[in-house]
Amino acid sequence: MKSKKSFLERKIKPKKFDAFNVINLMLFVGVVVMFIISLGFCIKDLTLSTNKNEYIIPILQRVLAILIAFVPLLLKKIFKIAFPKMATSIFYLFLFLSIYLGTFLNLYQKVESWDIIIHFLFGLIAGFFAMFLINELIKNKEKLSVFLVFIFVFCFSISLGVCWELYEFAFDSLLNLNMQNYQYANGISLVGQNALLDTMLDLSFDFFGAVVSALVCSVCSYKNKKFIFNFKILKLKKQLNNTISQIEE
């Protein structure tokens, strides 16, 4: 039986061409290449600069960004799980918009509304990713409460937004990065509500994104009981065994 199973494992081939595989490969390669190029320019500037310390954080940011881009592959190789292909595409697109355009090309400073757009998208996307957890945690999906969907999606999304602001506050305090825009370019600190404005705008648009995603998920769950099955974390070993069983039958 074991040899038969091994033979079947070797013989299993994709049934048809999947465009999402190509799209995700292109997105992954594109994002990683852009991150590496940005890292290369940063290292080049480091070698030419007299103040080496100012490039430590940018280099660490770029190295971390490259590692983050490999998260879907690491989940697949190490933990044998994978998100649906569309979710993976959204992940790479968000990395491109928020990290590459926002941080590395400095659109957060050049485009006034870029930060709030990214936070709204973050709240929206985080809410939809909450549905994967609901799908894993809830056993009886046929009796899934719409109210539970709304509360869980909203709370999960807004909680991630709060965690991000805590991260910004911590590193602003430790490394004086000014991610929360509490200082002018000349180093003078803002006072009163002006100092809180960036953080509160970020949280507000995290909130709006969380509300929209919670409404969409709850309404779709109410109208279509099978909506939850679109958010399934694929367990690769289990999926392989099911395919083998079907072939044996």
What pLDDT sits at residue 249? 45
Please say if the pLDDT value at position 237 is more than 70: no
Does 247 have pLDDT greater than 70? no
What pLDDT does residue 220 have?
93
How many whole angstroms separate alpha carbon 232 and alpha carbon 136? 8
pLDDT over 90 (residue 216): yes
**What pLDDT sits at residue 248?**
44
50 alpha-carbon distance from chain centroid: 36
Task: Return the pLDDT at 121.
Answer: 96
How crowded is residue 44: how many other Cβ atoms within 10 Å of its Cβ? Answer: 11
- pLDDT at site 15: 55
> Is the pLDDT reported for residue 37 higher than 60?
yes
Instruction: Give 17's pLDDT tier (boundaries 50, 70, 90).
Output: low
The whole-number pLDDT of residue 123 equals 95
Counted residue by residue, the chain has a size of 249
> How does pLDDT run across 113-162, given as a tens digit for each residue?
999 999 999 999 999 999 999 988 888 877 788 999 999 999 999 999 99
Question: What local confidence, expressed as pLDDT, does residue 109 receive?
Answer: 86
User: Does pLDDT of 8 surpass 60?
Assistant: no
Per-residue pLDDT of 160-204, as tens digits, reads 999 999 999 998 888 788 888 888 877 788 888 888 899 999 999
Residue 189, helix vs strand vs coil: strand
**pLDDT tens for residues 46-102?**
998 888 888 888 999 999 999 999 999 998 888 888 888 889 999 999 999 999 999
Long-range contacts of 68-75 (CB under 8 A, 24+ apart): 68/95, 68/99, 69/28, 69/31, 69/32, 69/35, 69/95, 70/32, 72/28, 73/28
Most confident range (mean pLDDT) of 118-132, 216-230, 235-249 is 118-132
What's the Cα-to-Cα distance from 80 to each of 19, 52, 70, 77, rounded to whole Å?
A: 22, 41, 14, 6
Which pLDDT does position 16 carry in this prediction?
Answer: 64
- What letters, b where the CB count within 10 A reaches 16 and e where it falls short, cover 209-241? bbbbbbebbbebbeeeeebbeebeeeeeeeeee
